[in-house]
Structure 1
Amino acid sequence: MIYSRSRRFVFIHLHKTGGTSFEQGYEPFARWDDLILGSTPHGEQASTYFQRRFGLYKHSGLEEIEKVIGAEALAGFRILAFVRHPRARIASLYNFVGGIVLGWAEKNGTTLPAIRAAWETLSAQHGQLRWPASRAFIESDDFSGFIRNRHLHYDAAFQSQAAKTRTATHVAEPLRIEDLAGSSILQDLVDPSFVLPHANRSQRILIRSADIAPVDAAWLADHFRDDMAAFGYD
């Protein structure tokens, strides 16, 4: 997340929507009283401290931010969030955690079935294997099984985007990442010379959004129907 007092905006970093790219791109333009949690070396350290001290971290939603900062303090601030089609977003999540798990397996000379069999022991030693999304990947044979795995539904990355960008008093302005190309909204917000980088790429591509089976696409559309309606996706 970003709390920019200097430019009077708050940026909500939803999982797998390009938030790391914006936070890294914004960092050179940040002023002394801007707060960035996550994504940069300083931001990651700050995120750890702010989560422990105030309950705010890299992926805090608007409700968490408002609770700490106060609804009145947000008045007059522009509240923004990148959003993404749920199908593409969850495909990206699958590629991201799959890259981590399979990369770890290769590095340690083991296999996915072996990790699955020894998950209790291995996850106690390696934090990334404990993520609910990682466990869902480890327990699943394919993308279809992954999205239906019960553990995935406990992962913050599988939450509704709409739910994390609204409260009773504020609603974030959604910036669909599919519409950012050719738009000057970020340059107008930050600086005319701002360029959005492409950071935090998945380590490997296991599935593409266009290749998701129709039955799974329909399942995701139903599960994320609030996002589909709120952000005009079909």
Structure 2
Amino acid sequence: MIISRGRSYIFVHIPKTGGTSMALALEGRAMKDDVMLGDTPKARNRRRRIKAQASSGRLWKHSTLADIDGLVSAEEIAGMFTFTMVRNPWDRMVSYYHWLREQAFDHPAVRLAKSLPFEGFLCDPSSQEGQRSWPAARYMTDVTGTERCSAYIRLEHFKTDAAPLFDHLGFELALPHENQSSRFESYQSYYTPK
């Protein structure tokens, strides 16, 4: 997540959507007072700036707009350009599965991905519930329950969907391909007619 009062935007980083690439692109043009939550180089260097900040939720890479209440007011959020990256859900699930299989931390989703082939992981009720309970709109809903998203930028249509962001910023961004999972190129090969 990046909060830029100087450029009047908030970037909300939804997992496995190209968000790390977006964060790095934005970091390249960061202002000195931008708040960065995450694990990118500038975010790590700026962590201490928010250590003592109170908020209504966890301040981390994948914070929601509701989480940052206290750091940013609902009124401020309403006046800013808020945006996020989204991704084809079929492709996102393949990426998520492979990312989980590469992790070493102890978590039920990691154990599930490591113990099942993709189809079994996809059909598992806990995987399905995890995806259903965290739609993009939930990340973009503030503490008052209001969805506040100026742009949902589809990874697959970045240039077109990012035009409102570029207009707001006054410059364009190139999106590097970062944080790739090890997988087959095409997500379609993972799915069967079932």
Which range, TM-score by smaller chain? 0.7 to 0.9
Are positions 1:96 and 2:99 aligned together?
yes
Q: 1:164 to 1:214 in 2, by over 3 A?
A: farther
Q: 1:147 to 1:50 in 2, by over 3 A?
A: farther
Aligned positions of 1:105-184 closer than 5 A: 128-140=104-116, 142-149=117-124, 152=127, 159-167=134-142, 168-172=145-149, 173-181=151-159
More helix by share: 1
Offset at residue 162 of structure 1 (A):
2.4
Q: State how far apart, in whole Å, the 2-side matches of 1:214 and 1:48 are.
A: 50
- Corresponding residue to 2:66 among 63, 76, 90: 63
Identify the range of structure 1 (11-20 vs 150-159) with the bigger mean alpha-carbon deviation.
150-159
Q: State how far apart, in whole Å, the 2-side matches of 1:62 and 1:8 are.
A: 14
Q: TM-score when scaled to structure 1?
A: 0.67
Deviations 1:29-61 (A, max 9, x none): 101111111141231365598588543111011
Offset at residue 68 of structure 1 (A):
4.2
Which has the higher Rg, Structure 1 or Structure 2? 1
Q: State how far apart, in whole Å, the 2-side matches of 1:15 and 1:51 are.
A: 23
Show structure 1 runs of 5+ residues with no match: 102-127, 216-234
- Kept in 1, the 8 Å contact 2:154–2:161? The answer is no
Structure 1 vs Structure 2 CA RMSD = 3.0
* Count of residues paired in the alignment: 186
Q: TM-score when scaled to structure 2?
A: 0.80
Offset at residue 137 of structure 1 (A):
1.0
- Kept in 2, the 8 Å contact 1:29–1:190? The answer is no
- Corresponding residue to 1:82 among 80, 85, 99: 85
- Kept in 1, the 8 Å contact 2:64–2:139? The answer is yes
Offset at residue 84 of structure 1 (A):
1.1
Aligned residues: percent identity? 30
Write the letter of the residue equivalent to 2:192.
A
Q: State how far apart, in whole Å, the 2-side matches of 1:174 and 1:182 are.
A: 11
Q: State how far apart, in whole Å, the 2-side matches of 1:27 and 1:144 are.
A: 37
Deviations 1:3-47 (A, max 9, x none): 011110101000000110011111121011111111412313655
Write the letter of the residue equivalent to 1:169.
T
